[in-house]
Structure 1
Amino acid sequence: MTVAHSLLSCGNVFHWFKRREIVLITALLGGFVFLCTTRSSGGEFNAVVSIGDTAPTWKDLVGVDDKLHSLADVADKAFVLVIFTCNSCPYAVDYESRFVDLETRLGGAAGELAIIAINVNLIEEDRFAAMKQRAKERNFQFPYLFDESQAIAKAYGAARTPECFLLDGDRKIAYMGSFDDDSRGLIVTHRYVEEAIESLQNGAPVRVQETPPVGCAVRYSRSREGRKTS
């Protein structure tokens, strides 16, 4: 074999490997694009729902007023703030006065906003009787509902108390996460929920659509399977 033939053979081999690399890289990139475009549902900090999703609905959840409530009850409101909260979490307790203040300013019969608080915890401190007492002590003017099945919290992917979900006029999720950026309320620089409401009122895009919820873990019941016997 001549030197020229050897070089030609090497060139063919190099060309073959080069083509293989291009095909491999293209395949990998194609796979990457496929993975990105087929992302599972869920937001950045929520594994179940995303911004723009139609909000999960509910009906016949009992409130501390001993009445049954549904999301449809507030169909006349421009916006709905769903808050998963409880009695026992210090973070939730710290936010209660801010929830009451927001209800006073933007809620009520004449306001555009409906606030609905929901508790799904099953521990003694969060039982229905304790919820009634807390609502009375704090003078809640918004519904405070109890879902013993915990189904509605799971449908929203709620992980913390408190955790907020702001619904727009079409009842799509416009914002979800923390109420503001300081759970203690001492140095609040971003009022995420109020800023989102203001954007919706002005017909503008919500600038911050999602933040990580800060609080205590929702106390979901653990399903226990019996031990199998042979």
Structure 2
Amino acid sequence: MSLTPSYMVELGFSAPAFELTNVFSGLPTKLQDVAGEKGLLVMFICNHCPFVIHLEQALVALGKEFYGTGLGIVAISANDAENYPQDRPELMAEKPYGFPYLYDESQEVAKAYKAECTPDFFLFDGDLKCVYRGRFDDSKPGNGKPVSGSDLREAMTALLKGKPINQNQQPSMGCNIKWR
């Protein structure tokens, strides 16, 4: 495991379009299919990263909390499943997420978003402009801090209420994306 920070893309960055396979349905899923009228949270995650495993139940809860609010949520795995078989699509489909989980086999979508680590979070407004990129919260495996999702949840809530989003954003930290 290589501890890697997220690349802090410039705020206002437009969400790159994509069409990827949803591992739950087997169907192609486009950016427009998952974006809500108020915005979209794009998460780059994977199955085997201890940082993602640490947040897994909180991600499920976040999906339930924000379901039906007009804010879409999607997770994408871009890891090389050949060299990291735990991240194969059929194993991704076993995860309990209530939001689409897409497989980026070519890794082109992760590159377009400048994703660097798992987890890596990008929050876009209704015009699909980036308003938040950074960490879930300050909890990490072994640091003893409870998982709250406070940083990301605060940004999502502010977006939904039409309030300013705190510009003091901290990078996410996790395993590097497993590039080919």
Task: Tell me which interval the TM-score lies in, with the shorter structure as reference length.
Answer: 0.7 to 0.9
Instruction: Kindly provide the CA deviation profile for residues 170-214 of structure 1, in whole angstroms up to 9, marking residues without a partner as x.
Output: 100010111111134843577111111122223222114532121
Q: Report matched runs for 1:160-199 at 5 Å.
A: 160-184=117-141, 186-187=145-146, 191-199=150-158
Identity %: 38
Q: Which amino acid aligns with 1:169?
A: G
SS at match of 2:73: strand
Q: What is aligned with 1:117?
A: 75
Larger relative CO (CA 8 A, sep 6+): 1 or 2?
2
Q: Is the 8 A contact 1:174 1:209 kept in 2?
A: no
**Following TM superposition, by how much is the alpha carbon of 1:112 offset from its aligned partner in structure 2, in angstroms?**
2.1
Q: Which amino acid aligns with 2:135?
A: S
Q: What is aligned with 1:217?
A: 176
- Structure-2 separation of matches of 1:209 and 1:73: 30
Instruction: Kindly provide the CA deviation profile for residues 50-90 of structure 1, in whole angstroms up to 9, marking residues without a partner as x.
Output: 1111111212x001121110111134431211000001101
Flag as ranges the 4+ runs of structure 1 deviating above 4 A.
none
Aligned counterpart in structure 1 of residue 91 of structure 2, from 113, 130, 136 = 130
- Structure-1 separation of matches of 2:177 and 2:149: 24
Specify whether residues 203 and 218 from structure 1 end up closer, same or farther in structure 2 by C-alpha distance, changes over 3 A only: same
Specify whether residues 141 and 212 from structure 1 end up closer, same or farther in structure 2 by C-alpha distance, changes over 3 A only: same
Aligned counterpart in structure 2 of residue 141 of structure 1, from 71, 94, 98 = 98
Aligned counterpart in structure 1 of residue 14 of structure 2, from 38, 51, 54 = 54
Q: Is the 8 A contact 2:47 2:87 kept in 1?
A: yes
Question: RMSD of the TM alignment (CA)?
Answer: 2.0
**Following TM superposition, by how much is the alpha carbon of 1:167 offset from its aligned partner in structure 2, in angstroms?**
0.7
Specify whether residues 121 and 188 from structure 1 end up closer, same or farther in structure 2 by C-alpha distance, changes over 3 A only: closer
Q: Is the 8 A contact 1:175 1:209 kept in 2?
A: no
Aligned counterpart in structure 2 of residue 70 of structure 1, from 30, 35, 55 = 30
Q: Is the 8 A contact 2:116 2:176 kept in 1?
A: yes
SS at match of 1:215: strand
How many residue pairs align between the two structures?
A: 170
Q: Which amino acid aligns with 1:216?
A: C
Q: What is aligned with 2:3?
A: none
Specify whether residues 175 and 209 from structure 1 end up closer, same or farther in structure 2 by C-alpha distance, changes over 3 A only: farther
The structure whose residues are more often helix, as a share, is: 1
What TM-score do the two structures reach when normalised by structure 2? 0.86
Flag structure 2 segments of 5+ consecutive residues without an equivalent. 1-5
Specify whether residues 145 and 189 from structure 1 end up closer, same or farther in structure 2 by C-alpha distance, changes over 3 A only: closer
Q: What is aligned with 1:201?
A: 160
The structure whose residues are more often strand, as a share, is: 2
Q: Is the 8 A contact 1:192 1:208 kept in 2?
A: no
SS at match of 2:17: coil
